[in-house]
Amino acid sequence: MEKEPNNKPFPIDAVIPWVDGNDPVHQEKLRDYVLSQGDAVEMPHSSFFREVGEIDYCVKSILIYAPFIRNIFIVTDAQTPNIIQESEEWSAHYREKIKIIDHTDIYKDYEEALPTFNSISIEAMLHRIPGLAEHCIYFNDDFFLIKPTQSSHWFENGFPVLRGQWTSFPDKVWYKKLKKKWFPQKALRPSFKQMQIHAASLAGFEDCYFRCFHSPRPIRKSTIDNFLTDRPELLSSQVQHQLRHVSQYFACSLAWHLEIKNSTAITTPKLGVVEIFNPHKRSYWQLQKKLNRVLVKKDVFSIAIQSLDRVDEKKLKLFIDWLNRITDFDFQVAPDTHQ
């Protein structure tokens, strides 16, 4: 266990929001919601929700490469990933770490915002998971650990280790200001970057933000909880959007900027992650080369692979075979008997 500044050990949990977009019940809920809104919203791209079993590999990678994790909370809407059934054959040490949390568990007093199809809204509520440790790490289901990590990779002396880079606000960059002045502007969209900028602004930053990437993110629950307790209208506004909206903030980024502002974080430009975006647009050989290189990079301990549902069968097999290799582990055997 990591230790607090007073040398007292503390637990660390992992949290993974997840949805099975292939589920007909989910599809019907989404369709009904979009139809009920008329022209106010558009049907989101199906890739936001489709999955090809990534959650199973995400969970296994945490169990293998972050053995200090106490609980792995999978947050979902009345769904159960295959990993739950598979784990019935495992040692209790691993099986009992996995917990299913329903949206209704974290949306207490905000039930009118359900059902929701908005991961940004859901992430803003993750600090409300019953029994969640003060120190936790947020994963997406397409994040995978690939090498052993220690608690100190994520927290040092109780403070979160934030991996990213300082980036200027767009309106502080001269050529972006010129572009905005001389060229017609498209309407803002709820992009990952825009929601980080909004989060930084909420925390009081005016010129730049600490940009996070697609990798696991350590958080202290009380940091975000205390901030939102004093601003209930902010959380209410955030969760009312059942699909992504330009007015929303990225909860992890908000927590990070609050920690930076309070001098209670360690920032580092060492990202520790390799990102693979739009693999369906890359050649098979490019992807194979990238996967082969990942494991030999000493400073990389995680990988993010987005939109696996959009690749062809040959590429999918490449990824699945690779994920099977990095998660090849006997979970039926308790850790004290592993050779």
DSSP per position, 11-70: -EEEEEE---TT-HHHHHHHHHHHHHTGGG--PPPGGGT--SSHHHHHHHHHHHH-TT--
Domain 2-337 in this protein, CATH class: alpha beta
Burial of 44 (0-12, 13-18, 19+ CB in 10 A): middle
Note the pTM of the prediction, 2 decimals: 0.91
Closest CA to 223 of 195, 189, 251: 251
The per-residue pLDDT for 173 is: 47
* pLDDT for 180: 59
**Domain ranges (residues) in the chain:** 2-337
How many residues comprise the chain? Answer: 339
Torsion sign (Cα): 26, 52, 102, 46: negative
Structure token digits, residue 121: 């809204």
Read out DSSP for 79-90? ---HHHHHGGGS
Report mean pLDDT in 10-residue bins for the chain, 339 residues: 62 96 89 81 61 93 98 97 96 97 97 95 97 98 97 96 94 54 64 94 95 96 95 96 94 98 97 95 96 93 94 95 97 78
Note the pLDDT of residue 285: 96
The Cα 153–Cα 145 span in angstroms is 12
